[in-house]
């Protein structure tokens, strides 16, 4: 099967060029000017951009949380991702408390296998740092699970204490893995949250005010320093606050291998969105949405490479029945937002269109940097020899985000009614067209598990 994409403008992280692309099988075979080759199919990309398929390194398909499960399966979630221009996800397998990493990994393979419509990898959430678990980490790195997530938040659930985190970091200093941290001081936050509920402040809004940005900054510095002493790199997930960004900057200025991602919700939404009574539950995630003045700081962080990646932390719960679990106590609202479908367009609209990012930097933060950071050398660029994960992107197409039209299996959208400019017209996953306008041509199970390499994390 050979597909020819003609007339488009290839936008890579390093250059913008006009050229045709021949996809042969699963790889990009030829890029050339006015290619004169035969193909089974030709896609006219005139007036469009061709970009590497976006990579979302932070998703939670079917995550169990607070007695329920994130709605999207690997099937619905990856389908929605594809419609949004994302052709790779890295999801978080979860070690069951008391169990082994292997058990968690097996469970996640089972969830994904035969269902994923695009390629996927796994990070491993470590719930329970024990000697045997530390040993297990080495094996997982060799199997392509080269990154591990721990939490300073969620005491009693995912929380690890500093000694445990430090030991896991020491292990990656030896085995080349990368520790990812949810950095909020959960112990202090839980005190405030409990006091709020005791005082009758049970609305979703108090989820936001219970979690001070200062406590995200604190935990961010803490895990960076633990990593420094352990001699390991560290990657901060879903950074939301100026205070946390300042700590990442400080570490990077000193030359430390500290990295961070942010998410569209922190760039576009704010604490105010949580304030409309229980409607605010739609926006409950952790870290919470911040006062609006944090947004521009995060854009600056992206521009200057203090934030290297934009992911989604996609973790959708229906407003009805799921978010409602916390109607009387914000602490019981399942944490998480849908977003895997919207990231590429939101970043294009608010980043490229509004002059905050060049098209090249946009490609870098949604695709190239995620691929490099997480050991996927075959992804992240439109280049000969790499996987033909390609998106024909129309930078001028206007559309309206809505739960009534989106493909995620969740009953609301955080961006309901937003008009955005830019959208994926055609999406190829390893050479196969899976999205063509509104048409879906993907196949559950066609997505492959990605055995990832160690992160080069030099930058």
- CB distance 80 to 410 below 8 Å: no
For its own copies, the binding residue among 2, 102, 174, 249 (CB under 8 A) is 249
Query: Judged by CB under 8 A, which of 38, 131, 132, 253 binds its own copies?
Result: 253
* R_g of the chain computed on alpha carbons: 21
Rounded to 10°, the helix 131-142/162-175 angle is 30
Side-chain-facing half-sphere of 78: CA atoms under 13 Å:
30
Contact region for its own copies (CB under 8 A) — 84-92, 253-261, 390-398, 408-416?
Answer: 253-261
Token pair of 45 as six digits: 């990309």
Taking residues 56 to 75 in sequence order and writing x for each that binds its own copies by CB under 8 A, - otherwise, the string is: --------------------
Compare residues 43 and 337 and give the one whose CB is closer to its own copies. 43
- What are the Cα distances from residue 106, in Å, to 31, 412, 424? 39, 31, 33
How far apart are alpha carbons 452 and 81 in whole angstroms?
20
Q: Which stretch binds its own copies (CB under 8 A): 59-67, 301-309, 408-416, 423-431?
A: 301-309
Residues 114-153 that bind its own copies (CB under 8 A): none
Q: Is residue 166 a contact point for its own copies (CB under 8 A)?
A: yes
Contacts of 130 (CB under 8 A, 6+ apart): none
* Residue placing its CB nearer to its own copies in the complex, 355 or 417: 355
In angstroms, the CA 449 to CA 109 distance is 8
What does the per-residue mask of binding to its own copies show for 201-230, with x meaning CB under 8 A?
-----------x-xx-xx--xx--xx-xx-
Counting runs of H as helices and runs of E as strands, what totals does the chain give? 13, 21
* Choice from 188, 197, 403, 421 touching its own copies (CB under 8 A): 188
- For its own copies, give the closer residue by CB, 146 or 221: 221
Rule CB under 8 A: which of 350-369 touch its own copies? 356-358, 360-361, 364, 368
**Stretch 11-30 residues interacting with its own copies (CB under 8 A):** 12-19, 22, 24, 27, 29-30
The maximal CA–CA distance of the chain, rounded, in angstroms, is 72
First vs last C-alpha separation in the chain: 38
Residue with tokens 């591990």, as numbered in its chain: 148
Binder among 91, 306, 341, 387 for its own copies (CB under 8 A): 306
Nearest to 392 by CA among 2, 7, 1: 7
Which among 393, 341, 337 has a CA at the least distance from the CA of 363?
Answer: 393
Q: Nearest-CA neighbor of 224 among 173, 183, 191, 263?
A: 183
By beta-carbon proximity to its own copies, the closer residue of 89 and 369 is 369
Among positions 376-415, residues that touch its own copies (CB under 8 A) are 377, 380-381, 383-386
Q: Which is nearer to its own copies, 17 or 396 (CB)?
A: 17
C-beta separation of 227 from 169 below 8 A:
yes
- Cβ proximity to its own copies: between 170 and 240 the closer is 170
Q: Which stretch binds its own copies (CB under 8 A): 114-122, 134-142, 188-196, 265-273?
A: 188-196
Closer CB to its own copies, residue 185 or residue 342?
Answer: 185
Rounded-to-integer distance, Cα 351 and Cα 303, Å: 10
Point out which span in 94-102, 163-171, 336-344, 387-395 binds its own copies (CB under 8 A).
Answer: 163-171
Count of residues of this chain found to bind its own copies when the rule CB under 8 A is applied = 70
d(CA 163, CA 226): 9
- Give the separation between CA 442 and CA 448, rounded to whole angstroms: 13
Residues at the site binding its own copies, with contacts judged by CB under 8 A: 10, 12-19, 22, 24, 27, 29-33, 35, 155, 161-163, 166-167, 170, 185, 187-188, 190-192, 212, 214-215, 217-218, 221-222, 225-226, 228-229, 249, 252-255, 300, 303-306, 356-358, 360-361, 364, 368, 372, 377, 380-381, 383-386, 456, 458-459
């Amino acid at each position: 099967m050979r597909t020819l994409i003609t007339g488009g403008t290839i936008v890579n992280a390093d250059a913008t060029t006009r050229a045709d692309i021949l996809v042969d099988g699963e790889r990009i075979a030829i890029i050339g000017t006015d290619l004169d080759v035969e193909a089974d199919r030709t896609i006219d990309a005139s007036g469009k951009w061709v970009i590497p398929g976006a990579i979302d390194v932070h998703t939670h398909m079917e995550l169990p949380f607070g007695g329920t499960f994130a709605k999207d399966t690997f099937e619905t979630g990856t389908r929605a991702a594809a419609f949004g221009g994302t052709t790779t996800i890295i999801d978080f397998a979860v070690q069951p408390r008391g169990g082994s990493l292997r058990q968690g990994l097996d469970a996640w393979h089972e969830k994904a296998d035969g269902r994923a419509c695009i390629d996927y990898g796994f990070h491993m959430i470590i719930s329970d740092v024990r000697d045997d678990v530390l040993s297990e980490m080495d094996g997982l790195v060799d199997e392509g699970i080269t990154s591990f997530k721990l939490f300073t938040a969620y005491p009693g659930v995912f929380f690890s204490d500093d000694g445990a985190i430090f030991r896991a970091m020491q292990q990656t200093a030896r085995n080349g893995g990368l520790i990812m941290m949810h950095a909020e001081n959960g112990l202090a936050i839980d005190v405030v949250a409990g006091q709020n509920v005791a005082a009758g402040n049970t609305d979703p809004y108090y989820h936001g005010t219970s979690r001070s940005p200062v406590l995200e900054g604190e935990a961010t510095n803490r895990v960076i320093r633990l990593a420094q002493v352990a001699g390991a790199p560290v990657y901060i997930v879903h950074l939301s606050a100026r205070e946390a960004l300042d700590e990442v900057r400080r570490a990077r200025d000193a030359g430390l291998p500290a990295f961070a991602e942010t998410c569209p919700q922190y760039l576009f939404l704010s604490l105010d969105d949580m304030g409309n009574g229980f409607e605010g539950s739609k926006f409950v995630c952790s870290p919470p949405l911040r006062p609006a003045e944090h947004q521009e700081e995060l854009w600056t962080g992206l521009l200057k490479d203090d934030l290297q990646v934009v992911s989604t932390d996609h973790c959708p719960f229906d407003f009805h029945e799921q978010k409602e679990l916390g109607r009387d106590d914000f602490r019981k609202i399942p944490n998480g937002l849908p977003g895997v479908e919207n990231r590429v367009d939101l970043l294009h609209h608010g980043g490229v269109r509004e002059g905050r990012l060049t098209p090249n930097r946009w490609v870098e933060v949604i695709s190239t940097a995620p691929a490099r950071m997480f050991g996927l050398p075959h992804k992240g660029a439109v280049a000969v020899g790499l996987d033909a994960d390609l998106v024909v992107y129309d930078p001028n197409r206007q559309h309206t985000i809505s739960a009534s039209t989106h493909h995620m299996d969740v009953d609301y959208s955080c961006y309901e009614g937003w008009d955005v400019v830019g959208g994926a017209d055609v999406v190829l996953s390893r050479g196969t067209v899976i999205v063509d306008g509104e048409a879906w041509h993907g196949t559950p199970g066609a997505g492959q598990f990605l055995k990832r390499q160690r992160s080069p994390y030099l930058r």
